[in-house]
Amino acid sequence: MKKILFLMAALVASAFASDGGLVVLASDNGASIAGFSVLAAGLAIGLAALGGAIGMGSTAAATIAGTARNPGLGAKLMTTMFIALAMIEAQVIYALVIALIALYANPFLG
């Protein structure tokens, strides 16, 4: 937890490390908005990948535990697991699409 807080503090410090801080937003014609969009897209993809990895790991662990308890249901459990993994991965892909929209078709740049 301490490492995550340190990383978040480092990211915030690097985001505001420009010469004027937040005052720059009004005078640079969208360059800071583009920079914040890159930061937001990176955080979104990172959090989506983290959540997807945790979900996939717990899904695989539950499938392995279920197969160990009842080996006869192994094929059914594997099929259900692959469907669940596809749905989890779809959520990560949705986050990727939103991040790419924020990067390349940014509605805030006007």
| pLDDT per residue of the chain (110 residues) written in tens, 0 to 9 | 777 766 777 766 666 665 554 444 455 556 677 778 888 888 989 999 999 999 999 999 999 999 999 999 999 999 999 999 999 999 999 999 988 888 888 777 76
Collapsing DSSP states into helix, strand and coil, what is residue 77?
A: helix
What is the rounded distance in angstroms from the CA atom of residue 44 to the CA atom of residue 91?
12
User: Using a CB cutoff of 8 Å and minimum separation of 24, what contacts does 16-24 make?
Assistant: none
**Domain 49-110 falls under CATH 1.20.20.10:** yes
Residue with tokens 């749905």: 87
pLDDT at 28: 58
What is the rounded distance in angstroms from the CA atom of residue 110 to the CA atom of residue 105?
10
Q: Where are the domains of the chain?
A: 49-110
pLDDT at 1: 75
pLDDT at 14: 62
